[in-house]
Chains A and B, each alone.
Chain A
Amino acid sequence: MALHGGNVKHKRRERIDRGIKVRSDDIFALTSYREFLYVSVPPVAPVILLLALPLILPLYWQKVLITTSVFAILALSWDFLVTVGMVSLGQALFFGIGAYLAGYLDIRFALPIWTTIPLATLVGGLLSAILLLPVLRLRGVYFSMVTLVLPLMFERTIEATGWFGGTEGLTGLKSFPNIWIECYLIVIALLLVFFGLRRLVTTDYGLVLTAIKNNDRAVMSGGINIYWMKAQALFITGSIGAFCGAFMTHVYSFVGMPVFALDYSILPLASAVVGGMGTFAGSLLGAFILVPLSEALRGIGGLRTVIYAVSLVVFIVAIPEGIFHYVQRKYQQFERWAEVEN
């Protein structure tokens, strides 16, 4: 720096953990209500809010809450798959498989809702995992390519063959007794998936899954069969997606080709990217920002997908950390300008 002459002071931004974070990091150090609240408000407040929302919202927004929760769950499952190193461009695949399974079980065997949804969840997860087995041996973009292709393939197949009602879809399916059950079922499912996945990735099992993303060869040399692990991760994601599909089938009492639409692939992806990948909380936050926003902007119709796509690009290029990581940083750390020693 001497080249420029003089004493040019260079500064860099320094981030330091807040005192309250340092003190409350360890649960034994909690000594005041302030510290207790600092730790407990971020996880507890959203839970209370989510459980209270169905009670205070009007009917229309209850419906929006249901869609938002479904997209949030899909975003969580997308985020989980990314944690294992697989980037899906087609969550609609899992969603659609579940939706059609539930519809088919209902029409063909006249099973009650409480059987079709669990069955569709499990069988859907299994089917998704089997379908994607060929891609597991490849790294890089192959997984994205194939997941992009598969939902389209299902859509075309159903259109071409007329199976499962063809272009008409399956109508007159059983629906839930009332909207309260719908609301609370999906909200509780959302909380279960959210906390379940967060817990899962911190267990030993989750550690192995994360390691596959970071260095698959190292995991293999540890004597672990990574294809089997990846297949299990796919089953988990597939089941979660299939559950959403099966649930929506019974909410609409209808299932048709739109369940494989791009919306169900791009919105979860956009939610996770906008909210921030890797923490699950980000995906949740992203979905609860994007979906109600798009509902409020319903008037613009087809422009919605454009907005999702653009926000996706802007975030991935300019703010790759996402909203959640930014907020988290502000909550836990403060910043100051520090002089750099030459």
Chain B
Amino acid sequence: MLEVTIIYGFINSIILALIALGFSLTFGISGVSNFAYGAMYIMAGYAVWIMINLIGLPFPVAAILAVIFTALFGLALYRLVLLRVRGMVISEVIATFGVGLAILELFRYLGFTGFEYTLPVFTDGSLMIGDTYIDHQRLWIVGIGISLALGLYLFTRYTKTGLAFRGIAQDEQTALSLGINSDRVAGLSVAFGSGLAAIAAILILPRGTISVNEGYDVLINAMAVCIIGGLGSTVGVIVASFMIGYAQMITDAFSGPHWKMIVSLVAILIILLVKPSGLFGKQKELEERI
């Protein structure tokens, strides 16, 4: 029992981190709201499903195309919607939230619900650690999740683009004066974040059926991880994922799966009460607090 909780808690934490990475890259690191994040996650899932089942592409091709497609969609979202309201926080939030809502509810209206909407796993099979079964898909999730988190950490510290992402969030004026085209960088950041959402979807969705409601859950989980970890901190994302991941597993084990979702919501409220800038948040700590 304990062993299962520990192992599955670990996997659950990596899943949360994977979900939150893209949101954190866009919102946390570059300071651009993307409340359509959950919708993009679900959209990527359906895109892969459509390409496999209706067009007949092989899974790897469909997966890669879906990631590219979602990233391009993110770029388009920035160019067509966000660019026009950039800097007005209220409008940014409402506009992206509206786009996400429209996508999700459109899928619901088109009838994309049911048990046939599943994605294939990468490799079939399972593994035993002690007495616990782990299927290969979860191992893939852990492997790719860890490498992506590491990649993001290095990317935001040692590449010019990554530094530019952090630059526009810290001080857009200074970034501009140092030759960073903030509109281009912000667009890239939304595109990268969307791409990461697609990767997360392709890895995680094979565990169950694709459902529209999961889009809202993904957004909430991603938000919870980012708020708790602190904006702009990759380490924060990882630590917060593990905290929420294990907390969810423990509540799941002791009081039933219904309570799982409530954990992240309660965690947000507690962290905002105790340490509003998040565990590792340094960026704009002063400007966001009053």
Chain A residues in the interface with B (C-beta under 8 A): 82, 87, 89, 134-135, 137-142, 144-146, 148-150, 152-153, 156-157, 159-161, 216-217, 220, 226, 262, 266, 269, 273, 301-303, 305-306, 308-310, 312-313, 316-318, 320
Contacts and interface: CB of A to CB of B under 8 A. Distances in A.
A262 B101 contact: yes
Given A87-B94, A140-B89, A160 B258 contact: yes
A158 B262 CA distance: 11
A306 B212 CA distance: 13
Interface string B257-290: 0110110011011001100100000000001111
Going nearest first, the 4 A-B pairs with the smallest beta carbon separation are A160-B258, A309-B102, A134-B273, A312-B98
Contact of B290 (A137, A145, A310): A137
Contacts, number: 122
Given A82-B90, A301-B109, A306 B102 contact: yes
Give chain B's interface residue range (CB within 8 Å of chain A).
35 or more
- Name, among B84, B94, B102, B216, the residue most crowded by chain A CB atoms within 10 Å (CB to CB): B94
B227 A142 contact: yes
Contacts of B256: 160
B93 A134 contact: no
B95 A149 contact: no
A301 B105 CA distance: 11
Nearest to B224: A149
A330 B259 CA distance: 54
User: Chain A binding site: helix, strand, loop or mixed by DSSP?
Assistant: helix
A160 B262 contact: yes
A149 B265 contact: yes
Contact of B99 (A150, A160, A309): A309
B139 interface: no
Contacts of A308: 101
B223 A89 contact: no
B105 A306 contact: yes
Given A142-B288, A160-B259, A149 B102 contact: no
A216 B227 CA distance: 22
